Amino acid sequence: MATSTHYTSLSDPNNAIIVSKENDWSSVKVYAKGSIQYQANNAAELRGGKTIEVDGLGSLQLYLGSELEVRVDGVRYEASKSESNEKVRNVSVIFWLLTGFTAAGLLFIFMAGEMLPDELFQILVGMQIFALAVYATTAILLRRKVYWFYFVGAGTYTFFSLLQLIDIEIVLLNFFSIMVFVIRIVFLFLVLRILPVILQHMRESKAEGNDDVILDQ
């Protein structure tokens, strides 16, 4: 079973080195700068050390001892922990929470339906159902590493948040509506702050999909 680990340095966190390998090191692929840079068919090729010149990055050195050591121009790159994956999982949970809140809002609209004009009732129900479907789909697809759908979910949530500001009098109507809006802003912050991690995962997925570009072997 192949696993992927990305290596980064504090001095250049945006240029990750991605190493995809089988558990027994029978196949190793090294990605950098959006394409595969090196491929080995056994661990022996790395035990003696391997140096690859990567355009736009520098001299990439690989050495396999008790663990794989990755350096760029002599600077050691550390294996990233599962923090970024955990952040993506947390955002998936956030979208599930948004799905729950939206479902509760939809229920409230149905309960208050008799007090609303028919046209407004239909518009609100349609918006809630649309948001419900988008948030649930985003939560599911993020778990399945379909990272681009994050922009659909985040964009939808941002749009509905900004929509509330159009009628600020409703937001400031009472303490309850103010608290609901504050909670919405907090969730918006949590959703948007994950953007750099999503972009990083998208770059890595793109790099791992470029197996046809082998620059050094």
Question: For residue 131, what pLDDT is reported?
Answer: 94
Average pLDDT for 4-26: 73
φ and ψ at 141, to 5 degrees?
-70, -30
Least confident of 8-22, 33-47, 92-106, 176-190: 8-22
- What proportion of the chain, given as a percentage, has pLDDT over 70? 81
Q: List strands edge to edge, sheet with 17-22.
A: 35-40, 28-32, 17-22, 2-8, 75-79, 68-72, 58-64, 50-54
pTM of the predicted model, to two decimals?
A: 0.60
Question: For residue 205, what pLDDT is reported?
Answer: 67
Question: For residue 216, what pLDDT is reported?
Answer: 37
Question: For residue 145, what pLDDT is reported?
Answer: 81
Query: Which tokens sit at 209?
Result: 């999909």
pLDDT for residue 48 is more than 60 = yes
Average pLDDT for 72-79: 82
* In the chain, alpha helices (H): 44-47, 83-111, 118-143, 149-166, 168-171, 175-192, 195-208
Average pLDDT, the chain: 79
Average pLDDT for 66-84: 75
Domains of the chain, each with CATH number or no CATH: 2-80 (2.40.128), 83-199 (no CATH)
Question: For residue 208, what pLDDT is reported?
Answer: 54
Contacts 24+ apart (CB under 8 A), 72-78: 72/9, 72/12, 72/15, 72/17, 75/9, 75/11, 76/9, 77/7, 77/8, 77/9, 77/17, 78/7, 78/8, 78/9
Cα–Cα distances in angstroms (integers) from residue 3 to residues 19, 32, 70, 117, in the given order? 8, 16, 16, 56
- Distance, in Å, from the CA atom of 18 to the CA atom of 3, rounded to the nearest integer, reads 10
Contact 2/22 with Cβ under 8 angstroms? yes
- Distance, in Å, from the CA atom of 205 to the CA atom of 121, rounded to the nearest integer, reads 43
Average pLDDT for 94-104: 92
Name the amino acid, one letter, at 72.
V
Question: For residue 200, what pLDDT is reported?
Answer: 73
pLDDT in tens, 138-173: 999 988 888 899 999 999 999 988 887 776 655 566
- Distance, in Å, from the CA atom of 75 to the CA atom of 77, rounded to the nearest integer, reads 6
pLDDT for residue 207 is more than 60 = no
Contact 147/205 with Cβ under 8 angstroms? yes
Query: Which tokens sit at 52?
Result: 């690859």
